[in-house]
Every structure is written in structure tokens, then in C-alpha cells.
Structure 1
Amino acid sequence: MLHGGDGEDSLNGGNGHDLLDGGAGLDWLSGGPGRDTFLFSAVADSTPDAADWIVDFVSGQDTIDLTGITGGAGLHFVETFSGRAGEAMLGYDLQVDFSGDGLVDFRVYTVGQAAVTDIVA
């Protein structure tokens, strides 16, 4: 498992199945070849102002794990936020409104588009 600190980090996994946790601050995450899990345990880990970048995301192989934030409650994927907590929008970035105020609280960018099935919440 690779852990980042509270600042800007660059984490690079090797071959195989890696678990990467960038922590707070803007982070650059690369799992390398294999099935990788990008772990987020707090909303502050990847905010709109300091969003992490997953630079080698492979849909169907890699996973974005938000269970540390959601407690396993899941997310509701929508086209636009309605002000309901737990709504998420997915494109080449994952945006989540955890507070229910209709604004983005959490954002992570992916190089390689993620699918809803790649998100564990």
C-alpha cells in the first residue's frame, strides 16, 4: 500500500495489484500495470480546489474506492446535482456532493474514463 501525506504527492505503483491512498492535497496517482485500487477515506482527500489525478485509470480493471467516506452507503449517479447528499456525476472526473448543498465537495480526475461500475462506495 502506498500512502501520501497532507501535501502534494506523486505515488507510483509497480506491476501487480496496488492500493494507493494519496491523503489530503493535490496528488498524482499512477497504479501501473495490474488491477489497482485508488482509496479515498475523507472528502478532504480530493477537493475541487485540490483534486487528485489518476493518470493511468483503466475501466474494468482499476477501482476508485470511496467506502471510507460513504461507509458503504453508496452513491446516486445523476446528470446534475439536485441538492440531495450522496449524488455523483461521472465523466473524465468524478464529482460528488456529499453535503447535499448542490455543490461539488469531492472531485478526482481520471486519465482514462471510469465507469459507474468502477466506483466502490
Structure 2
Amino acid sequence: MKIQVNAVGLDQPVEVIACDIDKVIPALTYTITVSDGRSISKDLCEEHGGYLEDLLEELEVQGSEPEPAPAKAAPAKKAPAKKAPAKKTAAPAEAPAKKTPSRRRPRITSLEEIEAAKKG
């Protein structure tokens, strides 16, 4: 459960998560999804979420990770086509081709420089 709290020195309220059972702060949000599509989400404090933490630790010790929930909202997009790698050919022992310089900008000239060029 999210609770808005007015913190001292702040103009805007701050949202904190409290336990759904006894309203203790802080709490963590636990979401359990079953393969048949059912899902439940609960905010639990350390005391009430302890059994879930024990279960998570047990699963981590066994080395198994929970499977991610299948995405149902958007169909999978195709990956872009992969390009074939360029064939490397033996290049002569010349210097690598010079990279063409980027386009040069015109020189900015002041009125004084233009007048001096006319006289000179």
C-alpha cells in the first residue's frame, strides 16, 4: 500500500510503501504469478514477508531462478536482418586510405580585414 507522507522541509508529499497487513513502513512489494495466468501483488514488511524471503533464499541456494512471466501484451518483433561480414582481402603494405575531411567552413572575415585586403 502506498501512503503519501508530507516530509519536513519538502513542498511535495512523498510516497512510501507500507505493509498491507499492519501498515508498517518500510515494506517491499512481492508479486507472484502462476503459470495459469493468476497473479497477486502484496506489500509486506520484514515480518510478514519473511517466509517469502526464506523461499527466495532457498531457491538461490539451489541455483534455480524463477522463470520470467510470458509477455502477452505485444507480439514479438522480428530482429533486423544480419549483414554478412565483409570479406577481408590482403591489402598492400601501403598507408591506410586517408579519411576525407569533413566539409570546411568558410573563413569569417571582419570589415577591417576586408578593407586592409583592398588596400594591400
TM-score in same-fold range (> 0.5)? no
Please tell me the TM-score bracket, short chain as reference: under 0.3
- Larger RCO (CA under 8 A, 6+ residues apart): 1
Q: Which has the larger radius of gyration?
A: 2
Give TM-score, length-normalised by structure 2.
0.19
Give TM-score, length-normalised by structure 1.
0.19
Greater per-residue strand proportion = 1
